[in-house]
């Protein structure tokens, strides 16, 4: 389903008195709903305002001699060095094409530019992560099935 269609459906839901809608197009199904107040009558379909608490990140004091990024990184080798290969999108990390097949690469694997390292699944679409540098895989920072964010390091490759 196209992202523009989904946005249009959200707008339709917001502009209507509907509480929930489900649309099926081919094999794709999308269900949109809004939360109703627990004390609201069954006939009251007005949307209830929702409060979202702001997300704050902790403040870190940088003393003399401190370096940005000097905190511990969750790598599979304690002293792993190399260039980070990052996730090109938000999704779910998979190290192989299917659960039964062997991972594309492991720690110590030699890779060339363009070799497939893993797959990121986003909205039922599987996207390959290809190596943009040649070298040796020094660390795999995610396990198969882990969620990943855009720009998050998933591999360290030493040229």
The CA distance from 54 to 155, in Å, is 31
Say if residue 43 is in the same domain as residue 91: no
Say if residue 92 is in the same domain as residue 150: yes
- Specify if 55 maps to a domain: no
Say if residue 88 is in the same domain as residue 43: no
pLDDT at 72: 41
Say if residue 44 is in the same domain as residue 100: no
- Total structural domains within the chain: 2
Has residue 126 got a pLDDT over 70? yes
- Specify if 66 maps to a domain: no
Has residue 154 got a pLDDT over 90? yes
Say if residue 87 is in the same domain as residue 154: yes
Residue the block writes with tokens 């040649």: 134
β-strands 20-25, 135-140 pairing: unpaired
Mean model confidence pLDDT for the chain: 75
Q: Give residue 1's pLDDT band: very low, low, confident or very high (50, 70, 90).
A: low
- Specify if 64 maps to a domain: no
Residue 21: Cβ-neighbour burial (10 angstroms; 0-12, 13-18, 19+)? middle
Decide which of 13 and 105 is more confident.
105
- Specify if 122 maps to a domain: yes
Q: What is the pLDDT of residues 56-87, one digit of tens each?
A: 444 444 455 444 444 444 444 445 578 899 99
- Specify if 16 maps to a domain: yes
- Specify if 95 maps to a domain: yes
Say if residue 42 is in the same domain as residue 93: no
Say if residue 30 is in the same domain as residue 91: no
- Specify if 62 maps to a domain: no
- Which CATH number covers residue 143? 2.40.50.100
pLDDT at 5: 77
- Specify if 150 maps to a domain: yes
Query: What percentage of residues in the chain have a pLDDT greater than 90?
Result: 34
Q: What is the span of the domain harbouring residue 7?
A: 1-48
Rounded to the nearest 10°, the torsion over CA 138, 144, 148, 152 is 0
């Amino acid at each position: 389903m196209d992202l523009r269609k989904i946005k249009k459906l959200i707008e339709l839901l917001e502009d209507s008195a509907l509480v929930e809608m489900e649309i099926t197009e081919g094999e794709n199904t999308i269900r949109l709903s809004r939360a109703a107040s627990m004390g609201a009558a069954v006939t009251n379909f007005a949307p209830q305002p929702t409060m979202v608490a702001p997300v704050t990140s902790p403040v870190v004091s940088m003393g003399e001699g401190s370096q940005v990024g000097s905190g511990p990184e969750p790598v599979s080798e304690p002293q792993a060095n190399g260039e980070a290969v990052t996730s090109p999108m938000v999704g779910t990390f998979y190290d192989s094409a299917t659960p039964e097949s062997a991972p594309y690469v492991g720690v110590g694997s030699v890779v060339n530019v363009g070799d497939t390292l893993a797959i990121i699944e986003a909205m039922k679409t599987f996207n390959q992560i290809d190596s943009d540098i040649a070298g040796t895989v020094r660390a795999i920072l995610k396990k198969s099935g882990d969620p990943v964010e855009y720009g998050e390091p998933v591999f360290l490759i030493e040229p």
